[in-house]
């Protein structure tokens, strides 16, 4: 073995032992003999990344590429360094693609290119990359997990479930794996081993293990402490606070408060529908409104409204979190409102870098994010009662009525279609449950089936758009002795005005539990359809109850599933009482705070102003 080879071997051994200073010395000695040696440059770059010096890593990558342009690992190193530096997925992807062109079976480059494509919202291409990995190694955990998650985006739930199950066989302790497969099974209403699965996930989370992400926990647990624990575990691993926060106590002196909304959902999306009117009603003499849009431009009417409503609108879907955070710091944002939390396509790592002096969790994520860099959570006294404060990291800012806004500018179609147009019987009772499939638990479904059995002329009107979930729900109905034809599945209606109008065809809205209806419950009440709910012990399980209190019908909010069933049954037996409730909702529409967007916006602005004043006076945040 010659001197160069011996130096490289010794350097690699030192690197493996964690003796990084010695490894650097030996690799540099190798470079003295062979300048630009690709393996030495690559290893020095890897060490630089490990030490948090992405600029040094990129320098070594470029040095090596200049000397050995055909060495694929150096291209991979360059892409990795750019990602660590926060240069953006597009720049990193170019280098990963170059590595793959040189070495088509380069698994690490394929995986990282898939992640970059996913970050760029090019989900179909990302899925193809992860599938390439699986053709090389069918058991590669990262590819299995990413493939499965992307399949859920394409509504291919059965394939996703099979892949999640394969993942857990290959790596039983894969982070958040049990929650991932549980949630996807719920999306298709597959309740196999439901009770045991729920017990295992909750027990593991309470023990501090990475068993589930937040959304799955919301679907299975009615305890705010479980959600706080799940969020805290998730955030500590993936979204820790930056060691170098971008804002460090500076006081801004703006003529107007600079208010930024961060969201991937400034488009046709429930959050978009709820917030559009708020954006339009902001007092521009006091607030400069700024949109930080992380998601796609769907060219919708709703998107067009938003583009007009903001003072400044930044489409940053292809930018890295670091670039977005830096933009916000440069803009001197006073208050940053995260409308997504840990939901799909969110980027919590933006606020983790503390780009603004005040950072707020609002609306899109129904619970605590469990982190120190979010100062406030905007709620109401029904969704977060005083006794639940210990389960929230954020300080609670209370709106006087319901925390969930509605858009009073939406004009519900005046014409009510015939029931037959939607496959509903012209006569008989229509129970409506327009919730996502994953919110339907077997216990709530049992109640619904008992109601159908007690009222033979009734049907259950559901929103499921998934053929697998429809098949499973029909089979579950038959197992309860209910003909599957009594489950009627609604189809998509293009215009929201027409979608809302069809709520008039139902007699009552049956809520889900523990994850309540949120936007759909507000829609039902807006149209005049009574909602029967069960209020639980966590934010997401109390939303419909909050809406009912604001709408003037608190008597429809029960506090146990037994009472929920009894109330729904009583209403089914008293059509005249249902008619009175509908009339009351129609009467309350003009005066209820739930349906007054302008008043809601003023109340929200009052909270923002109070936060801003506390901050500028140097006081620590407190309950508002």
Boundaries of CATH 3.40.50.2000 in the chain?
419-595
- Rounded CA-CA distance 503/434 in Å is 9
The residues pairing with 510 across neighbouring beta strands, listed in sequence order, are 532
Q: In 3D, which of 474, 435, 443 has the Cα closest to residue 564?
A: 443
Spatial neighbors of 519 by CB under 8 A, at least 6 apart, are 270, 273, 274, 404
- Rounded CA-CA distance 490/488 in Å is 7
Crossing angle of the two packed helices 141-153 and 157-170, in degrees rounded to 10:
160
In the structure encoding, which two tokens stand for residue 349, read together?
């790592």
pLDDT of residue 1: 55
* CATH of range 257-408+602-616; options 3.90.230.10, 3.40.190.10, 1.10.20.60, 3.40.50.11380: 3.40.50.11380
Boundaries of CATH 1.25.40.10 in the chain?
1-103
Helical ranges in 342-441 per DSSP H: 348-352
- Rounded CA-CA distance 577/583 in Å is 10
Spatial neighbors of 186 by CB under 8 A, at least 6 apart, are 216, 219, 220, 437, 438, 439, 440, 441
Is residue 623 classed exposed, middle or buried when 0-12, 13-18 and 19+ CB atoms within 10 A define those classes?
A: exposed
Q: Rounded to a whole number, what is the distance in angstroms from the first to the last CA of the chain?
A: 72
Regions in the chain scoring below 50 on pLDDT:
623
Is residue 391 classed exposed, middle or buried when 0-12, 13-18 and 19+ CB atoms within 10 A define those classes?
A: buried
Determine the 3-state secondary structure of 490 from DSSP: coil
Boundaries of CATH 3.40.50.11380 in the chain?
257-408+602-616
- In this prediction the pTM is 0.93
CATH class of the domain defined by 419-595: alpha beta
C-beta separation of 522 from 362 below 8 A: no
Contacts within 8 Å (CB) and 24+ apart, 348-351: 348/235, 348/238, 348/239, 349/239, 349/321, 349/322, 349/325, 350/262, 350/292, 350/321, 350/324, 350/325, 351/262, 351/325
- Rounded CA-CA distance 421/533 in Å is 28
> In this structure, what is the dihedral angle of CA atoms 288, 256, 340, 114, given to the nearest 10 degrees?
60
Is residue 485 classed exposed, middle or buried when 0-12, 13-18 and 19+ CB atoms within 10 A define those classes?
A: exposed
- Rounded CA-CA distance 564/557 in Å is 8
Which fold does the domain 1-103 belong to in CATH?
1.25.40
C-beta separation of 15 from 23 below 8 A: yes
Q: How many other C-beta atoms lie within 10 A of the C-beta of residue 342?
A: 22
- Rounded CA-CA distance 55/505 in Å is 62
């Amino acid at each position: 073995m010659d001197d160069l080879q011996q130096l490289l071997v010794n350097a690699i051994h030192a690197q493996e032992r964690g003796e990084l200073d010695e490894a650097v010395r030996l690799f540099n000695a190798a470079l003295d003999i062979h300048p630009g040696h690709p393996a030495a440059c690559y290893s020095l770059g890897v060490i630089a990344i490990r030490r948090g010096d992405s600029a040094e890593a990129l320098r070594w990558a470029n040095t090596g590429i200049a000397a050995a342009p055909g060495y694929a690992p150096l291209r991979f190193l360059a892409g990795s360094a750019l990602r660590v530096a926060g240069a953006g997925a597009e720049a990193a992807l170019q280098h990963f693609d170059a590595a793959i062109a040189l070495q088509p079976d380069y698994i690490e480059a394929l995986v990282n290119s898939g992640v970059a494509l996913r970050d760029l919202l090019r989900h179909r291409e990302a899925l193809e990359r992860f599938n390439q990995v699986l053709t090389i190694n069918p058991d590669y955990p990262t590819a299995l997990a990413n493939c499965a998650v992307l399949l859920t985006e394409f509504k291919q739930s059965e394939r996703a479930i099979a892949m999640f199950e394969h993942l857990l066989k290959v790596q039983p302790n894969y982070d958040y794996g049990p929650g991932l497969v549980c949630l996807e099974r719920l999306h298709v209403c597959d309740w196999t081993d439901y009770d045991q699965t729920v017990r295992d996930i909750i027990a593991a989370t309470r023990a501090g293990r990475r068993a589930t992400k937040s959304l799955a926990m919301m679907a299975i647990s009615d305890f705010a402490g479980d959600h706080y624990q799940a969020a805290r575990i998730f955030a500590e691993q993936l979204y820790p606070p930056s060691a170098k926060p971008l804002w460090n106590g500076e006081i801004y002196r703006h003529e107007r408060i600079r208010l930024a909304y961060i969201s991937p959902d400034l488009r046709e999306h429930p959050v978009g529908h709820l917030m559009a009117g708020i954006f339009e009603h902001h007092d521009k003499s006091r607030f400069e409104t700024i949109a930080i849009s992380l998601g796609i431009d769907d060219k919708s009417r709703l998107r067009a409204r938003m583009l007009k409503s903001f003072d400044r609108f930044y489409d940053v879907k292809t930018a890295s979190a670091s670039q977005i955070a830096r933009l916000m710091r440069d803009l001197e944002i006073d208050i940053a409102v995260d409308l997504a939390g840990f939901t799909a396509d969110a980027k919590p790592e933006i606020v983790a870098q503390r780009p603004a002096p005040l950072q707020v969790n609002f609306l899109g994520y129904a619970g605590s994010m469990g982190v120190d860099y979010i100062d406030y959570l905007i709620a109401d006294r029904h969704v977060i009662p005083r006794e639940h404060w210990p389960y929230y990291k954020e300080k609670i800012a209370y709106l006087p009525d319901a925390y969930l806004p509605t858009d009073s500018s939406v004009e519900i179609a005046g014409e009510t279609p015939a029931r037959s147009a939607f496959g509903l019987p012209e006569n008989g009772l229509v129970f409506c449950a327009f919730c996502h499939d994953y919110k339907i638990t077997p216990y709530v479904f049992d109640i619904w089936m008992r109601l159908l059995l007690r009222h033979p002329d009734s049907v259950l009107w559901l929103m499921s758009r998934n053929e697998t979930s429809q098949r499973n729900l029909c089979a579950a109905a038959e197992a309860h002795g209910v003909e599957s034809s009594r489950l009627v599945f609604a189809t998509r209606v293009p215009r929201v005005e027409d979608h809302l109008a069809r709520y008039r065809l139902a007699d009552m809205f049956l809520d889900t539990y523990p994850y309540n209806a949120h936007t759909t419950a507000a829609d039902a009440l807006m149209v005049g359809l009574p909602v029967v709910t069960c209020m639980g012990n966590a934010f997401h399980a109390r939303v419909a109850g909050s809406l009912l209190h604001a709408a003037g019908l608190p008597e429809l909010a029960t506090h146990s599933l037994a009472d929920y069933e009894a109330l729904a049954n009583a209403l089914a037996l008293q059509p005249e009482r249902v008619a009175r409730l509908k009339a009351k909702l129609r009467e309350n529409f003009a005066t209820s705070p739930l349906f007054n967007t302008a008043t809601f916006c003023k109340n929200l602005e009052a909270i923002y102003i109070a936060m801003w004043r506390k901050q500028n006076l140097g006081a620590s945040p407190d309950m508002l």
